[in-house]
Every structure is written in structure tokens, then in C-alpha cells.
Structure 1
Amino acid sequence: MLVTSAAHRDARPREEAPPSADGLTVGRAAALVGVSVKTLHHWDAIGLVRPSGRTWAGHRVYSGDDVARMHRVLVYRELGFPLAEIGRILDDPDADERDHLRRQRAQLVERIDRLRKMLDAVDRMLEASGRGMRLTPEEQVEIFGADWRPAWVEEAEERWGDSAQWAQYAERAAAMSPQDWRDVKAETDALHADLAAACRAGVAPGSAAANALAERHRALMSRYFDCTHAMHACIARGYVREPGFADYYDAFAPGLTVWLRDVIFANAAAHGVDPQTAAWE
């Protein structure tokens, strides 16, 4: 029995020998480097990493050098190189791998810096989203007037709460004191009075006086979020389209809503923005 068992052990296929005897099968190689068998088959098909060894039975296997090439491919792939470029780098005898890696490292540093800034922005958004306006409903009515409805803040958050501009508003609003809001209200009242007076006087959109008023209006919007000229044009379109806004502005002067839209449009055009096609950006 011992002799028979020994004979069976000696007669077992070479495929079952330790991996170092003839190389690694595709399954073993895939498990070793942490990719799928399908991935290795694809790399083989495109000539990126081909098994260079053979077993006694003629089966193709991966040698130690092949596995080392796989790891290099994985490094370059993780750095963002396309497979075709990886193949050129690995196969070009004149290619300077260190130079490629140095350039890729510089790009990674820039990417890390951008991601850190994005993370900081997200953290600020998370913090700000839980704060918003710190005024009580009573303070809101006292500052903004008897026609003010505190529910408007909640309605605005439901509508725009997922936007970056709302996050800016929430962050800035949370830092404002009741006196800061009183100052904003006074600034708003003064602007509305000047807009109404200019509309009644027939100030032409595109004139220096009208453009100055448009910039004051945009600056007021920028107290809450960074308002570009394109965004300003989008806001002006909304004033005319939504009855609530039209009623609000026309209460200061008949026709003020349309006039204000035209003033904002002309000012946006003077800054290189097509107000008809302007996008929220």
C-alpha cells in the first residue's frame, strides 16, 4: 500500500505542483494580484500581459516576470493611465518610467488638494444646512414687516435646499445677527425705492444709471450667495414668469417687474452674457 500510494503521488499531474515549478495558472495569478480571471484574459487578448510560460502539458502559465508586470500595470491603472498607454510605457525601451511617475504624482497631489477642498465644502454645507436663519419667527416679522411669512424660508429650502447656492445662503445667514438683517432690510428698501423711481422716470435699460442699479441688485443677491451675471439673468426671467414675484415688484411701481428684467438683461449682455440663453452657473 505504501508503494502504491507513493507511486500515485509521483504520478500526479504537474499542474498540481507548487506554483513555482512551472508558473501560475490564470486562476492562481488572478487571485494573487487581486483581479478577475476575465481581466487577465482581456490583458492577454490586447497584449498587455501575456502568460509566457508553459507546463509540461503545454498549458500557458504566468512566470514571475509576468506577475511583476501585472503589478506594474495595476500601479499605472490606479494612477489613471489608460491601458493602451500603459502598454506603450512598459514596452518602450526608451520610456522613462520615473518621468511618467513623477508627472503622475504631481497630478495626484493636485487631485488630493481638490478633494480636500471639496471635503471642506461638504463639511461646511453639512454644518450650515442645520443652521440657516437664526432669527425667530417674531424677529423675522419685526424686521421684514407684517407681510413677511416665516414659512417662506422653509418653502425656499424645500425648493433649492440641494443647491450649492442654498448652502452658501445657509452658511452666511447663520452668521448674521438680528442687526445684520436689519441692515440688509434697509439696503433692500433703499434699492427698491430707487428702482421704482428710475422705472417711473423712464430710465432706459442699458444706460449707465440702469446698469448701476442692476449691479446694486446683483450685489444684494450676492449677500446671500455668489450671484454671477448669468445667474442674475436667470433670476430676472423668474421674476416675470412667476406671479408672486411680479406682484411683489409691481407693488412698488406699475411695470417694475418687466422693466427690472430688461435692466438686468442689458447689464448681463454688457458683461458678455446672453440673457436669453443664460444658465444657472
Structure 2
Amino acid sequence: MKVKEVADLVGISVRTLHHYDAIGLLSPEETTQSGYRIYSNSDLEVLQQILFFKELGFPLKKIKEIINSPSFDREEALELHRKMLLEKRSRIDKMITTIDKTTQHSKGEINMSNKEKFAGFDFSHNPYEQEARDRWGEKAVDESNAKIDKMSKDEQKLMGEEFDRIYQKLAALRHKSPESDEAQAGIKVWYDYLNKIGNYSLDAFKGLGQMYVDDERFTKNIDKYGQGLSVFMCDAMAVYADRNKK
């Protein structure tokens, strides 16, 4: 199957498949003389594994390590996926039950204890913030948090609106080459804005872009502005960082 056929079959963007190829996560077995990627059934099985791992929150770097390990066992991995998805379903079922009970409680049909009101929630850690701290250290995160905390509600609202405007402009550019002048001008606006609320080095900026595609939570939120925007931003941010370090 050609890359467009695979993208349509799976429901992901062609750019995402190109990105997987570029980072060595999924390179099709065959390429025609014209340069078309041809995906075999074996390639599709690997892609299925990748998407199972992504659904469970694994970053792309870790997925690559797992599936390229000599000890990787597909059947064993499928069983692990099943167990983890069952656990995830169990937690979601608990939250749905909590919603139903809360509705009944609001109508006066039942009484809920305080403990029952929070059944199914698990906020024992903040994965976004912890991952950022691990990648870039405490200083940049603390500075960003301190600046945002000092903002008034109106200022935070304006910040959110500016985020939206920047993402919308980048979404309109996502079909262009990340190396194009238009893409680089758009991504510079994003870099400059981030440094208004934090202190991001070029390496940190490039790492942030990589997180946009490694972490499905970021990918889903960013791609709401346009399918494939996260991959486009990742590529454009890497180009911007590399060019400006010279």
C-alpha cells in the first residue's frame, strides 16, 4: 500500500507517516524508483503496535526502543496492551458511575459520601509538568509558572486568545515545507511568544516540539487546530532551532 492509502486506512496524516520514517520508527520495506513508499502487511502490523503504544501514552522514543529490541515479542506486547486497556477501561467505568451517581445525588435520589464523589479520579502526579522538568530542568518551568501565576484572570484570558491566534496561523501553514520562509516566520512568532512567559533556549524549544509528537496528549490538543499540525510544528521548530544555533 502507498503512504496515502495507509493514512486513509488508519486515519492518520501522511505527514505523520513521513515523520515515523524520518526518525526510524517505521520505514516501509520497499520504495519504488519514483520514490513512493510501499507498506507491506508486516509494516502495517508494526504500525498497529506503534498506535497501541501511543494510545497508552508511550512516547515515540520509547516505542522505538521497545519494538526494535531483540527481545520484543509481538504476542506478549498485545497481551500487555490488553491488560493496560482493561485497566484504563475500568478507571473510565468508575468515572462514568461517579457521574451517574452525582446526577442522582443532585436530584435528591441518593446520598453520596465525599469519597464517592471522587471515585475514578487519579491526579497523583502531573505528567506534563514532570516531563518538562525532566527534559529542561526546574528553572524554565518555575519561571513560566511564576509569570502565569502573577497574571490576572484577564491577562490569562488574553494569553489563551493569543495562543489560539498563533496556532490558527500555523495551522494555515501546515501543508507547506517546515523549511519554507513562511513556516519559519510563523514558528519564530511562537518562539518569541513562549519566551515572553518563560525562558526557553533553542534546545528547549526543539525538545518541546519533539514532545508535541511524542506525547499523544499534546498531539491531540494541537491537532484540534488542524490534522498534522503537531508534526509540522515539531519539524519547523527543529529547523528553527538548528538554523539559529549556527
Could you state the TM-score of these two structures normalised by the residue count of structure 1? 0.39
Q: Please, what TM-score do these two structures have when normalized by structure 2? A: 0.44
Higher RCO (CA < 8 A, seq sep 6+): 2
- Larger gyration radius, structure 1 or structure 2: 1
Q: Whose helix fraction is larger, Structure 1's or Structure 2's?
A: 2
